[in-house]
Structure 1
């Protein structure tokens, strides 16, 4: 039997962090080789697990082992993107020896836990759940096949495996004092805990909740009768479910229920905390919503040679290393597109999950203006886009493919596929400017800009998410002026576009080509300011101090 079939850490627990915490997340972006993540939520969870290990915290992760990962982003014959699902195998995961039953729609589904041991990637133990085992029928096996399955019943079943199956795995390991739900995907956990003695106060004492998005699509709702039919609430009578959650209508809000069943919750930036409090303020019985700003694990993401030059205050070595960091990215550009980018040319990168509110194509609002911009005489610009749309979001896929078609035969305009951890790392290391264009205030945090800054890329961004806590225009970043969010979206886009182009043409491009001293000063100030305030050690400490042990 494995030592990982009990609560185990390969270190002495730091006395500051003794509370036993089980961290539930539908995805974990831990390493390129472990493809069980889609984007920012997973990257955040992965960094949290790494920093919990670095700080010797008494925590474990509970997640899902997705057979097909999220999906593989590949190309059709015309270079547009294609969604491909393929089996993934991980010989570095170990059987924990734990198999637990979960009743879904009257059927017993067996859930097996495999463990990612700390010594593999430098995380606390992470237990990954799968239903793809011989003990289950084929339909039950498919529950853990696809991250964010588009079929509502499958999504509900996935939540039940994570929440109920995860809770039973934690019990098999000896139990926890705190259960932390990273988003409301694991909500059945709350009803499982409540069913033990029907004492809501005890559930609240144990349950912590992090909400990640003000987007409607990120706050799931389902028909309460469908949830009840699928045994989402266990054996709890529907009248009692309505009583403890305050849900008396047809649609059941997972986020609102989590806010009513948790002892305390948090948004993922100071601005997002304010937005979340305003968003849910009209609802009775919700818990306090604090704010703990997201962060990323510095040792994992930062280029140490660049940081070494920064620490030595060696500007020449800093600039030289930044140019060297562009080469692996540009080799990937050449491999995918046949285009040879130059290390001495200003390189702008837009890379993140493709979603409508993130406005991937804002820079292309006026195509004539855009092509004039990137072909300026003596001051050229290279632009790279990358990112994965949700595989069934046809609108986002259409935007991605539009970019591909516009980039065709343009020497300094590239669109890359395969946006996963290693490409993300190369993009951040190779970028001079990290462009971020969401409609304010719809970006909860936006941690990609943090890891970009750790690698000498300068943020050029809407003032949303974490940026108001970090950005100072012309000192450590370039910031879009705040537009009136009461305006129609079309007018907001027009104003943001005009401001973006003005700053690019009048400040960013001249600074890069004509005032290198100022450029390097901004780069260095960005690197100085991003750590330790936006390193995940600070975040992991705040969760214990402000939520778990309060």
Structure 2
């Protein structure tokens, strides 16, 4: 079977004829396909949708995770629990293609599955699996868990994505002109190409790389001998690997090597591009690092009825529709935690991946002040938290559980489980304020605020990631003054907490309740100005202009 058999007569727009294969460890395409964990997948999913809408000559390559990331459930006391449950995807079709790759110096059989464009309105997509009876148990588990906590398991997954994906494209006779690595996970594909062409220049001609991690310590590093033992380098001798990567020590830096084996790379916001250049430009032989700011797909995320009221300047209709969206969310709040929320009360949502630098519990830094906020009868508030910690990050799970226990004290505070595409959409429709409070310069992009704006929520944010490219204080967003770079983490947390509470108490709540016309104008500004710059059609187009055709 070839790609032409699956897509007999595709039509591509003239500006997008360069043939691209987009490799990503996760894709958030639609709620039933649970092969994603967070922002990296949300970004990739929107990219696949917009590439389809623009008729781009691009396909997606990923892994069909048997257990996904995990299902977030509750223990008896409402605290968080982790469930790994087998997923069934009858809408993803087995191509019948089987082939072998080496993982841990042993042959492993790989199956290829196909997601047709008409299923979820994406470009053609291929997903790999090792869950086959001809593989032993260890080989089968390679495609079991997204972001396996076991180091060897993670390395095996990268080999499956990179080497397996590149080999599949050869078997399909797809012949991509560009291999796009969304993060460094697919890097073994570069060694597959090197083994194929025996020439680093030929590899660089074809590989582009998107980095998402603004901290050097957060970029994956492994023992080079372990990688060699596990067949990460696709048959290239270790000394030759050292020569082509410049990694002469014992530790292999995946991001650094991706920057050395690609022709061009990009950060995911203007600010992140600057941070990435500061991080990596001191190293020799890296490729140029540009930026393509992340974006999200309007047709999937935006509430069409809200935009219809905006188009007809129906202010009353806009308010009515927003209340309807709030009621939809509040039904889920009541279902999960028993709190009955009111649609005329301002609703603040903090929802994203539970990583330490994102500071999910920053509002609770001063519990006495927090209690005053949530018991204020003049300006009442409703607060919702949601997000999925990494299942082995017990510190993040502890933060989640603390929020659960504190929220039990108040009928207007709730912590939700199951933060996936469906709940994310509900939260964005029901939020009046979308709170984003990472430690500054730690957030590469943070795209959830884009889709919140598409659903009539106002961003209330630290000026990090994509926010400085969009936000104008008290015009389309509320911006927290930036902390100084020389502050300790403790000082920064104190500074940001104080400013967030001050702005809530003195600016945001009085405006919502006392100046509803001004509030609605901000909402309209936000909904209007988020389009088209932060709609993923712009992003998909920009990847062709700045990265693929460079």
Q: Which category describes the TM-score, using the shorter chain as reference length?
A: over 0.9
Q: How far did residue 10 of structure 1 move?
A: 6.5
Q: How far did residue 135 of structure 1 move?
A: 1.8
Q: How far did residue 215 of structure 1 move?
A: 3.3
Q: How far did residue 11 of structure 1 move?
A: 4.1
Query: Which residue is 1:184 aligned to?
Result: 184
User: Could you say what secondary structure the match of 1:370 adopts?
Assistant: helix
Query: Which residue is 2:257 aligned to?
Result: 257
* Cα deviation 1:458-488 (Å, max 9, x = unaligned): 0000000000100000000000101112210
Residues 361-440 of structure 1 mapped to structure 2, 5 A cutoff: 361-440=361-440
Please state if 1:358 is matched with 2:361: no
Report how many aligned residue pairs link the two structures.
Answer: 549
Please state if 1:74 is matched with 2:98: no
User: Could you say what secondary structure the match of 2:484 adopts?
Assistant: coil
User: Could you say what secondary structure the match of 2:197 adopts?
Assistant: coil
- Give the conservation status (yes or no) of the 8 Å contact 2:306–2:318: yes
Residues 158-169 of structure 1 mapped to structure 2, 5 A cutoff: 158-169=157-168
Q: State how far apart, in whole Å, the 1-side matches of 2:6 and 2:85 are.
A: 33
More divergent stretch after superposition (196-205 vs 398-407):
196-205
Cα RMSD between the aligned structures? 1.1
CA spacing shift, 1:9–1:73, aligned 2, 3 Å: farther
Q: State how far apart, in whole Å, the 2-side matches of 1:384 and 1:238 are.
A: 51
User: Could you say what secondary structure the match of 1:222 adopts?
Assistant: strand
Residues 137-148 of structure 1 mapped to structure 2, 5 A cutoff: 137-148=136-147
CA spacing shift, 1:9–1:507, aligned 2, 3 Å: farther
* Cα deviation 1:316-353 (Å, max 9, x = unaligned): 11111101100111000000001100000000000000
Query: Which residue is 2:63 aligned to?
Result: 64
Query: Which residue is 1:154 aligned to?
Result: 153
Q: How far did residue 410 of structure 1 move?
A: 1.3
Q: State how far apart, in whole Å, the 1-side matches of 2:499 and 2:170 are.
A: 54
Q: State how far apart, in whole Å, the 2-side matches of 1:196 and 1:172 are.
A: 14
* Cα deviation 1:59-102 (Å, max 9, x = unaligned): 00000000001000000000000010010001101112222211
Query: Which residue is 2:129 aligned to?
Result: 130
Q: State how far apart, in whole Å, the 1-side matches of 2:507 and 2:197 are.
A: 63
* Cα deviation 1:228-271 (Å, max 9, x = unaligned): 11111122111111111110111100000000000000000000
- Give the conservation status (yes or no) of the 8 Å contact 2:163–2:234: no
Query: Which residue is 1:100 aligned to?
Result: 99
Query: Which residue is 1:219 aligned to?
Result: 219
Q: State how far apart, in whole Å, the 2-side matches of 1:8 and 1:532 are.
A: 30
Query: Which residue is 2:302 aligned to?
Result: 302
User: Could you say what secondary structure the match of 1:423 adopts?
Assistant: helix
CA spacing shift, 1:9–1:22, aligned 2, 3 Å: farther
Query: Which residue is 2:206 aligned to?
Result: 206
Q: State how far apart, in whole Å, the 2-side matches of 1:336 and 1:389 are.
A: 18
Q: State how far apart, in whole Å, the 1-side matches of 2:314 and 2:192 are.
A: 57
Residues 444-523 of structure 1 mapped to structure 2, 5 A cutoff: 444-523=444-523
User: Could you say what secondary structure the match of 2:534 adopts?
Assistant: coil
Q: State how far apart, in whole Å, the 2-side matches of 1:501 and 1:207 are.
A: 46
Q: How far did residue 9 of structure 1 move?
A: 7.2
User: Could you say what secondary structure the match of 2:128 adopts?
Assistant: strand
Please state if 1:349 is matched with 2:341: no
* Cα deviation 1:487-536 (Å, max 9, x = unaligned): 10000111111111111011100000000011001101001110100000
Query: Which residue is 1:18 aligned to?
Result: 17
Q: How far did residue 305 of structure 1 move?
A: 0.3
Q: How far did residue 4 of structure 1 move?
A: 5.2
- Give the conservation status (yes or no) of the 8 Å contact 2:117–2:123: yes
Query: Which residue is 1:40 aligned to?
Result: 39
- Give the conservation status (yes or no) of the 8 Å contact 1:4–1:96: no
More divergent stretch after superposition (133-142 vs 180-189):
133-142
Please state if 1:536 is matched with 2:539: no
Q: State how far apart, in whole Å, the 2-side matches of 1:504 and 1:531 are.
A: 27
Q: State how far apart, in whole Å, the 2-side matches of 1:442 and 1:529 are.
A: 25
Query: Which residue is 1:228 aligned to?
Result: 228
Q: How far did residue 23 of structure 1 move?
A: 0.2
Q: State how far apart, in whole Å, the 2-side matches of 1:139 and 1:217 are.
A: 29
Q: State the 4+ residue runs in structure 1 displaced beyond 3 angstroms.
A: 3-7, 215-218
User: Could you say what secondary structure the match of 2:185 adopts?
Assistant: helix
User: Could you say what secondary structure the match of 1:256 adopts?
Assistant: helix
Query: Which residue is 1:549 aligned to?
Result: 549
Q: TM-score, normalised on structure 1?
A: 0.98
- Give the conservation status (yes or no) of the 8 Å contact 2:102–2:231: yes
Q: State how far apart, in whole Å, the 2-side matches of 1:218 and 1:96 are.
A: 37
* Cα deviation 1:104-161 (Å, max 9, x = unaligned): 1221011111011100000001101000011211110000000000100010000000
More divergent stretch after superposition (136-145 vs 372-381):
372-381
- Give the conservation status (yes or no) of the 8 Å contact 2:216–2:279: no
Unpaired segments ≥5 residues, structure 2: none
Q: State how far apart, in whole Å, the 1-side matches of 2:63 and 2:197 are.
A: 28
Q: State how far apart, in whole Å, the 1-side matches of 2:87 and 2:218 are.
A: 26
Q: TM-score, normalised on structure 2?
A: 0.98
